[in-house]
A and B are shown apart, each in its own frame.
Chain A
């Protein structure tokens, strides 16, 4: 059932067998999976069915360097479905190398291997509605997908890895009916957790303090608690709950909020491909199950190891939209329509050049002088994106002259100095807001720069084309600074580790030193990979659900009925 927390009376105690905080993809996955296994689940969501200002305001906070990181109320949605209500749908699994301890990357290595996550990826793919768990271009489509660059067999990159796209599925809208129908799930909307109350000895969480929108407080008790509130809110709630443990929950070693990673990502360079337009295919193929699939240019693991680099991928991309020299009508039409594009997407698409009247004029001329392409693109966008249930994932425009740019998406190495802390301002419930102090490292820049050089050499060696950098891009660090932290990927702030000395949670996602508190979501990641996080968030949530199912059966053998969730007044 789904209920508004406004219906809970003041000072009530709501009890559940398992309480999940946060109704994003991790929380919803956990709730549905545990409910199917027969457990009584309470899911607390701070927002409503859709994002509202009053809940979004709770995301406010400060950023140490606003030129590098977006404000904390962007890319984060307080509503059922969480950030999947605005995501792009790109699904990519982590690579086996991402889980390994790599001597050339400090703090790398998970306490679990890829083989322990892999069994959950197929289920995650299904929940994300990204089709089969098949990420090999030779197998995803019968006969194989079209080659990216005909005849290109690079020495340092693999071209057979693909990304698959979710609808993009908004977990809230998609699974709302299932949550409503499930007899042993209670979803409380507009229920903001303000405090984790630990026992006197700090060994377990006794209750949660919860406020509804009318600022009426109530408590939640449960046998097990899971935080599934994202990489920024997780450390905030753990740090702010400091009445028993003065450093905050699970923060005895001052690791909560550290190792904050996003991805190093952006658009770079110009690739002039030799030959005709049939030499290159940078668009999507459609798998038999209807999923859009696309090849990537992935830095091979042995090359990462040999050269001491992080993980990274490139994609062929249209020329930079904001630069009118592309003289492409549809791209200029997108520039002109930027007011209608959400902040999260406009930031990547068009905001790297300040819009001046002259620039508007030049883009206007492009759009007018290329009317057929512009109208054709708008028709395609309306049919395949706006009206389609499975949406065309991104803007694919075939340049007239085989001139492309490169999208890069690279791992950010774990860095204890990049961190989330508590700021000075407080929210309406009196809790301190977050302060985001994101940092990249020289190694992050090196991963992009060296990978780019390797790709340029591979392309030149095989006479595929010419990859070059614009004048303002010669120093890759300038590009990294220009594009900043990739929005929406908030990783590592309650990282999984082999011991409390190096992380916040153990291999089962349980907070070190606390018997009944778990962390789901990308806060749990030890490293960031090249992959977008959502698929792995869902896979890890399925793995955590499996673990909780085994723990609860083993330790308490509770027979779950609807009555396991009661509301009582003190």
Chain B
């Protein structure tokens, strides 16, 4: 095609390409005339183990940029980030876009800008994300070019955490209107907005070492979100959940499910972990004005998110 001849598409390595965010980044890169995705995951062809220095060094050869969407267990996240930055020191890409998380803020409350230090207690996941950010920051100090994006709860069709899990829980009436346990601010990042932010971060000038909160416009509490989500799912009438029921879920059922999962293969029963319940209460409001100004981050409303998500229904919604 003539335009491809004139503007060769830049290869972008996507680590964690089979994950929820990674797969959407790959799709967006594929449909973009500017980029050519190089999908890297254990399930890609050829398979790439992001914790293997040799494999990552090989994958880094001849790519323009890297998007690090590695999820999974904390040790894997840490190791793959370290491997990536070490390999990049030898064969530096033009830029690394590292996907972190709002979990790095821990128990912080109020309006949160990117310079807010973590507040204890921080979950082990948040702690791992903090460590990953340190590794990336060191890479920048050493002369590399990397941008850190901190998405909030990434919502959209296929989101295992904030879509599938919550949908199951709402349909089972295990959650609903949570009363004072759901008064926390609901910070959602719509997957399309996150992907747009990632693509913008590949190109925007002078971003080395910059950190951006990534969230979509949503001035609502978890209670309000759960009620509108339940309505969109048809999981009505929404049930009011007693505090004692949430306590039973977090203190009894969640540990039992976790212990049982180690012994037998359980059907998909979502646990309401103490950290999830704490998030629903946490009055944390993520400020993403920097990303809006610099990355032109789109701000999808909750109604638009729900309309788009429920249009692209997955089996959980059927």
Contacts and interface: CB of A to CB of B under 8 A. Distances in A.
Interface in A516-562: none
A288 B231 contact: yes
A290 B231 contact: no
A389 interface: yes
Given A181-B109, A181-B283, A286 B237 contact: yes
B113 interface: no
B183 A167 contact: no
B53 to A, nearest CB: 47
A387 B240 CA distance: 11
Contacts of B176: 290
A119 B310 CA distance: 31
A380 to B, nearest CB: 17
A175 B177 contact: no
B27 interface: no
A390 B223 CA distance: 14
A150 interface: no
A289 interface: yes
Interface string A164-190: 000100000011111001000000000
A287 interface: yes
A426 interface: no
With most chain A CB atoms within 10 A of its CB, the pick from B176, B237, B242 is: B237
Contacts of A387: 242
Interface in A173-211: 174-178, 181
B241 interface: yes
B272 to A, nearest CB: 16
B1 to A, nearest CB: 50
Contact of A288 (B180, B237, B241, B242): B237
Contacts of B179: 129, 167, 174, 389
Interface string B230-245: 1100001111111100
B241 A289 contact: no
A307 interface: no
B231 A174 contact: no
Contact of B236 (A174, A181, A288): A288
Given A177-B183, A389-B240, A389-B241, A289 B177 contact: yes
A416 B207 CA distance: 72
A337 interface: no
B227 interface: yes
Contacts of A390: 177, 239-240
B238 A290 contact: yes
B211 to A, nearest CB: 26
A481 B72 CA distance: 72
Given A129-B177, A388-B242, A390-B177, 14 more contacts: A167-B179, A167-B240, A176-B180, A178-B183, A181-B109, A181-B283, A288-B231, A288-B237, A289-B236, A289-B238, A290-B238, A290-B240, A388-B240, A390-B239
Contact of B239 (A129, A178, A287, A290): A290
Interface in A377-397: 387-390
A175 B231 contact: no
14 contacts: A129-B177, A175-B180, A176-B180, A178-B183, A181-B283, A286-B237, A288-B238, A289-B177, A289-B227, A289-B231, A290-B238, A290-B239, A387-B242, A389-B241
Contacts of B241: 389
Nearest 9 pairs between A and B by C-beta? A390-B240, A288-B236, A389-B242, A290-B238, A389-B240, A286-B237, A290-B237, A177-B180, A288-B231
B169 to A, nearest CB: 15
Interface string B92-130: 000000000000000001000000000000000000000
A353 to B, nearest CB: 36
A390 B236 CA distance: 14
Interface string B166-180: 000000000011011
Interface string A275-291: 00000000000111110
Interface in B70-90: none
Nearest to B239: A290
Interface in A360-391: 387-390
Nearest to A167: B240
A178 B227 CA distance: 20
A388 B177 CA distance: 13
A206 to B, nearest CB: 34
Contacts of A286: 237
A85 to B, nearest CB: 15
Classify chain A: how many residues form its interface, as a range: 10 to 19
B136 to A, nearest CB: 33
Nearest to A387: B242
A376 B242 CA distance: 23
Interface residues of B, number: 19
B282 to A, nearest CB: 10
Nearest to A183: B110
A287 B281 CA distance: 25
Interface of B: 109, 176-177, 179-180, 183, 227, 230-231, 236-243, 281, 283
A57 to B, nearest CB: 30
B24 to A, nearest CB: 31
Contacts of A167: 179, 240
Contacts of A388: 240, 242
Nearest to A288: B236
Nearest to A287: B237
A288 B227 CA distance: 9
Contacts of A174: 179-180
A181 B110 CA distance: 11
A439 B231 CA distance: 48
Contacts of A181: 109, 283
B174 to A, nearest CB: 13
A390 B239 CA distance: 8
Interface in A390-414: 390
A288 B231 CA distance: 7
B241 to A, nearest CB: 7
A234 B180 CA distance: 30
B180 A178 contact: yes
A3 B119 CA distance: 25
Contacts of B180: 174-178
Given A178-B183, A389-B240, A290 B177 contact: yes
A129 B178 CA distance: 11
A126 B274 CA distance: 26
B281 to A, nearest CB: 8
A290 B177 CA distance: 9
A178 B179 CA distance: 12
Nearest to A173: B180
B226 to A, nearest CB: 10
B66 to A, nearest CB: 41
Nearest to B178: A389
Nearest to B181: A177
With most chain B CB atoms within 10 A of its CB, the pick from A177, A178, A287, A289 is: A289
A164 to B, nearest CB: 13
Contacts of A287: 237
Contacts of B183: 177-178
Interface string A14-39: 00000000000000000000000000
Nearest to B242: A389
A240 to B, nearest CB: 36
Nearest to A132: B227
A389 B182 CA distance: 14
Contacts of B281: 177
Contacts of A129: 177, 179
Nearest to B241: A389
A89 to B, nearest CB: 12
With most chain B CB atoms within 10 A of its CB, the pick from A175, A177, A178, A287 is: A177
A363 B67 CA distance: 76
A176 B179 CA distance: 12
A176 B181 CA distance: 12
Nearest to B183: A178
A427 B231 CA distance: 52
B103 to A, nearest CB: 21
B215 to A, nearest CB: 20
